[in-house]
Structure 1
Amino acid sequence: MRVLSAATLLTAAVVLTACTAAASPTASSSSDASHGLTTVTAGKLTIATGQPAYSPWVIDDKPQSGEGFEAAVAYAVATKLGFAKKDVVWTRTTFDSAIAPGPKDFDLNIQQFTITDKRKQAVDFSSPYYTTAQAIVTTKSSPAASITTLAGLRSVKIGVATGTTTYTLLQKVVGGSNIQVFNSNDDAVLALKSGQVDAIATDLPTAFYLADAEVKNGVVSGQFSDSSGGDQFGFVLPKGSPNTAKVSAAVDAITKDGELAAITKKWLSTTVNVPDFN
């Protein structure tokens, strides 16, 4: 009876182990030996972005085209990771859900995520692929619209939000009594609309938004080459992703070989006609 009981218990243990293994939640990712990554879908790299994704980050809300700064960066990184363009799969997420704790249905997410210590508690970040520049927003009819030099900016009234990196930079490279300080970007925008100032200064991503959505006949007339103190953008990955180091290495590679600089110049300067003030 003891022998039979032992055998029965052994059989039960094997069955229980098998059932437990089958019932355990498995990650939706799968190992992809050909690329050395663990991805949502074997042989594919799933990249998420916003819905919609705006120009100049993604042109015409079509990241699969590779047109736009972040779409181009995504494909450049995918290539460094060993993925052909046809093996990149795009999906969409909201900004907040992407940086919230919990499982993800993407391998990478790119939609102007500023790297912060607080966010690092919930997700991983790659090396930065962009440091925000500061820029000038004005209207097509403003005297500020045609100014191309730092010296020229001293001849117009510029609004800026207090306590921002933009304000610090503006004081450094422009200075002068023509700078008017406001409590927020919203207040500065109102001052521009009312004619109290000729232009406003803010970070480049915000400048694109304001010129497109908030300021009638708005234009981003130029950007500052000095990006010291600017926020850094990185790819978001699931917390503890085994791919984070490899993605960072890919970002570092396109930075080192000059490809990232060429992409930045094309999509955040030349294409959108936002030259550097000199």
Structure 2
Amino acid sequence: MRRLLVPLVPVAALALLATGCAPQDDDAAAPASSASASASGSATTARCSPDTMDTKTKGTLTVATDKPAYEPWFSGDDPSNGKGFESAVAFAVAKQLGFEQGSVKWVTAGFNQVISPAPKDFDVDVNQVSITDARKKNIDFSSGYYDVAQSVVTVKGSKAAGAKSIADLKGLKLGAQVGTTSYTVAKDTIAPSEQVAVFNTNDDAKAALQNGQVDALVVDLPTGLFLAAADLKNGQLVGQLPSSGTPEQFGMVLDKGSSLTACVSQAVDALRADGTLKQLEQQWLTSTAGAPELQ
């Protein structure tokens, strides 16, 4: 899956492009450990420097994303400003590899171009592209830089609107799409007293919420952000839920067999290990995007 694009600023033109839910591949999302190519052992610092990496332009890291670049992944439709979760992650990866901010060049690449086996005109793409085994047949992925969280979304004035914890949700009527991680999390993590309502599609679930048949929906966070900001009348994101099981992950995309994959994965792994990814997630998704963690 790829992402649901989420404009948090009312002025932005809104479009639901394939998300952490775009065209779904047949194979399940793969975790970071199976992303194509972390180096055996670790890539050395010397190998992973601007002088030694075989980038499209020597000494420059060319990073692609789609246009428009939506919030909260980017800010102001300007990936180069370092604001928004994915812009900040891209610059953090570049810095980890030794590239100064002025040595990062941004280009535009559409989703279909990114996941195709055709040669890329960029070094890496960052655009909410989920790691799946099907896609790895055509492209390389870095280690996962974002574990897709599950969230609870409702409408203002509902019984769920004032919920501040998982306990506050247990007595409510919840809904989720059949066969999804969201359904499993609703059933097992929230464990409501009433059976979770099951819907064939998120559109069916959304209609049920809007009509008052359920008090809230459990959906992945990118979808929840979109529904609350753009797709529901008086939509409200209640919050995100604790991780459960093997999460879907977003990874940076590279050419199949790219010599840069191991270095980029090493950089992502280092940012995960030192807490940078978590800090950026809290800054741009939890706080700025209004997605508090429900405990």
Q: What is the DSSP-based 3-state SS (H/G/I as helix, E as strand, rest coil) of the residue aligned with 1:96?
A: helix
- Structure 2 CA distance for partners of 1:197 and 1:251, relative to 1, 3 Å: same
Aligned to 1:7: none
* Consecutive unaligned residues in structure 2, runs of 5 or more: 1-47
Contact 1:223 1:275 in 2 (8 A): yes
* Count of matched residue positions in the alignment of Structure 1 and Structure 2: 248
- Structure 2 CA distance for partners of 1:227 and 1:91, relative to 1, 3 Å: farther
* Equivalent position to 2:243, from 207, 226, 229: 226
Note the C-alpha offset of 1:33.
7.2
After TM superposition, list the pairs within 5 Å mapping 1:91-130 onto structure 2.
91-130=107-146
- Find out whether 1:202 has 2:250 as its counterpart: no
Which structure: larger Rg? 1
Q: What is the DSSP-based 3-state SS (H/G/I as helix, E as strand, rest coil) of the residue aligned with 2:135?
A: helix
RMSD, aligned CA: 1.6
- Structure 2 CA distance for partners of 1:45 and 1:158, relative to 1, 3 Å: same
Aligned to 1:3: none
- Find out whether 1:158 has 2:171 as its counterpart: no
* Consecutive unaligned residues in structure 1, runs of 5 or more: 1-31
After TM superposition, list the pairs within 5 Å mapping 1:1-278 onto structure 2.
34-175=50-191, 176-278=193-295
Larger RCO (CA under 8 A, 6+ residues apart): 2
Note the C-alpha offset of 1:251.
0.2
**Aligned counterparts of 2:53 and 2:93: Cα–Cα separation in 1:** 13
Q: Which moved more, 1:136-145 or 1:252-261?
A: 136-145
Q: What is the DSSP-based 3-state SS (H/G/I as helix, E as strand, rest coil) of the residue aligned with 1:220?
A: strand
Identity of counterpart residues, as a percentage?
47
Say which structure is richer in helix.
Answer: 1
Normalised to the residue count of structure 1, the TM-score between the two structures is 0.86
Normalised to the residue count of structure 2, the TM-score between the two structures is 0.81
Q: Which moved more, 1:102-111 or 1:36-45?
A: 36-45
CA displacement 1:15-34 (0-9 Å, x = unmatched):
xxxxxxxxxxxxxxxxx974
**Aligned counterparts of 2:112 and 2:164: Cα–Cα separation in 1:** 37
Residue 220 of structure 1 aligns to which amino acid in structure 2? Answer: L
Q: What is the DSSP-based 3-state SS (H/G/I as helix, E as strand, rest coil) of the residue aligned with 1:221?
A: strand
Residue 210 of structure 2 aligns to which amino acid in structure 1? Answer: K
Segments of 4+ moved more than 3 angstroms: 32-35
CA displacement 1:230-260 (0-9 Å, x = unmatched):
2111000011110000000000011111111
